[in-house]
Amino acid sequence: MAILEVRNIVKNFDKLKVLKDISFDVEQGQVVAIIGPSGSGKSTLLRCINQLEKADGGEITVDGTRMFYTDKEKGRVVYASKKELREIRLKIGLVFQNFNLFPHQNVMTNITGAPIHVLKMPKDEARKKADELLAKMGLTGKEKAYPCELSGGQQQRVSIARALALNPKILFFDEPTSALDPELTGEILKVIKELAKEKMTMVIVTHEMAFARDVANHVIFMDDGYIVEEGSPQELFGNTRNERTKQFLARFKD
Amino acid sequence: MDWESIKKVTGILLEYLPNTLKLFAVTLLLSIPVGMLVTLLKKCRFKPVAWLTNLYILIMRGTPLMLQIIVVYYAVPMLKAGMQKDGSQGFFADFINNIDTRSDSYMFTALCIAFVLNYAAYFAEIFRGGVDSIPKGQYEAASMLGMTRMQTFFRIILPQVTKRVIPATSNEVITLIKDTSLANIIAYAEITMKAKQQMNTYSSIIPLFIVGVFYFVMNAVVTVAFAVIEKKFDYYK
């Protein structure tokens, strides 16, 4: 069974149809890259899966728990109970484009806040776990630093550590390198590669084709609210037959 | 005026300084929490509450504090007179009739009510501005980490709002020190009224300069205090 099942998602902002009919599965341990031009609905899709936006139709199931479905008779979306939604939320981590670290808390508090106050983990255990995560992110020694004292790449790695501290089953990335210098995208790519090796299930919305090609084992190409094509990176980047995909990828050739 | 008179006037002003400070302290201590409450009411999802709160803020900020002081102070005597004329009875009439409008405590209470209602409206707008200035991403990040609304507000939003409202709050506090002088309109024995009396006694303008120095020194203290507080929050940008 897929860990994430997305079926026929529809999302409108007033009259603007952003997501028209999106369906896909993510398997345990898979790294999925979602690519596509600006305005194609990639970020909105991610936000619907992460409960930051309410979908207008369709069905999403996370790790066997149904988050919402569409009541066909009444023609509206029915969400799971608050308790279930909360459980689902804790199985999902999200890394934001602009990090959204808490500026008034140091790196350690940013990472341990949720484990201590949400999961009620003992403080020592939360700190130990945070130390391990920081080591993994190459940020040992930065525990006491405040976000404003770190580079963009470091901040983004802290935000990845913060998301991982809750032991999510799926980690989502919403354009994790868009706010970074091109020189700094490498360090994020490295971290994501490490996580991929550990079989972390990840869904990455990105403009960075190198990401999609090097890390993902499944690529989804979206345009105008639809999934135009999906497949392995070799299929999409190597020899797509789809005209729209070709056209989009041509811009990244050099 | 000679030195002896200046010393004497300063002594008198010092004697009445506690009255000014009392009004300042009570207003500050009450209007900040009341202001927070008003911010919450303004953000209430039940719209009539939000509208009424807006109306309250509009009136408090739209009319002079001096007028508000007069209205609050004379409301009870006027009600009393009116009810005596109509021969009203009952719990409310008894309550109003039992208020001794000539006592000092009545005057001070009336002043505090007017000042707190007025300042709470200003603080409410400052706090609302602070809350609104926190980026949406902070709420989203907190929600993705499973925090409840209360946890998000107290752990993530409020500490950041506090830092952001300090400069505007310091402005209000400085204004409040000077606004306490408005209490002289109902003959509250604060330092501006006393200085005016001394001006008449000595036929000299110097008592007014002395009282000016009093306000200046108080505001210098407030300014330094807020600079220290701002520095405390300087550990992050």
Helix, coil or strand: residue B162: helix
Mean pLDDT over B185-203 rounds to: 95
Nearest to A90 by CA among B182, B148, B68, B235: B148
Q: Which two tokens stand for residue A112?
A: 């341990």
| A→B interface, C-beta within 8 Å | 50-52, 86, 89-90, 92-94, 96, 98, 100-104, 113-114, 117-119, 146-148, 162-163, 166
Q: How far is A94 from chain B (nearest CA, A)?
A: 7
B2-40 pLDDT, tens digit each:
999 999 999 999 999 999 999 999 999 999 999 999 999
Of A102, A114, A166, the CB nearest to B138: A102
Structure token pair of residue A99? 């990090």
Q: H or E segment at B127?
A: helix B104-132
Q: How far is CA A50 from CA A4, A69, A86, A171, in A?
A: 12, 15, 11, 10
Pair A222, A36: CB distance under 8 Å: yes
Q: Which tens digits make up the pLDDT trace of B80-117?
A: 888 888 877 788 888 888 888 888 899 999 999 999 99
Contact yes or no for A162 and B155 at CB 8 A: no
Cα-Cα-Cα-Cα torsion A116, A121, A127, A131, nearest 10 degrees, comes to -110
B163 with A104: Cβ contact below 8 A? yes
With cut-offs at 50, 70 and 90, classify the pLDDT of residue B198: very high
CA distance A193 to chain B (A): 23
Report helix, strand or coil for B179: helix
Residues on chain A touching B235 (C-beta within 8 angstroms): 146
Give me the mean pLDDT over the A139-165 stretch. 95
What average pLDDT does range A114-139 have in this prediction? 95
- Phi then psi dihedrals of residue B128, to 5 deg: -60, -45
Q: Using pLDDT thresholds of 50, 70 and 90, give the confidence band for residue A253.
A: low
Nearest to B236 among A50, A93, A103 (CB): A103
The number of C-beta contacts closer than 8 angstroms across A and B is 59
pLDDT at residue B55 above 80?
yes
Instruction: Band the pLDDT of A207: cuts 50, 70, 90.
Output: confident
Mean pLDDT of the B162-186 span = 96
Contacts of residue B162, defined as CB under 8 A and 6 or more positions apart, other chains included, come to: B130, B233
Residue A18 has a pLDDT of: 93
pTM comes to: 0.86
**Mean predicted confidence (pLDDT) in A161-185:** 92
Model pLDDT for residues A57-99, shown as the tens digit of each residue: 999 999 999 999 998 888 889 999 999 999 999 999 999 999 9
Model confidence at A134, pLDDT cuts 50, 70, 90, reads: very high
Q: Is the CB of residue A148 less than 8 Å from the CB of residue B237? A: yes
DSSP per position, A66-110: EEEEEETTTTEEEEPPHHHHHHHHHHEEEE-TT----TTS-HHHH
- What are A226's strand-pairing partners? A223
Interface ipTM: 0.92
Mean pLDDT of B120-140: 96
Are residues B140 and A146, on separate chains, in Cβ contact within 8 Å? no
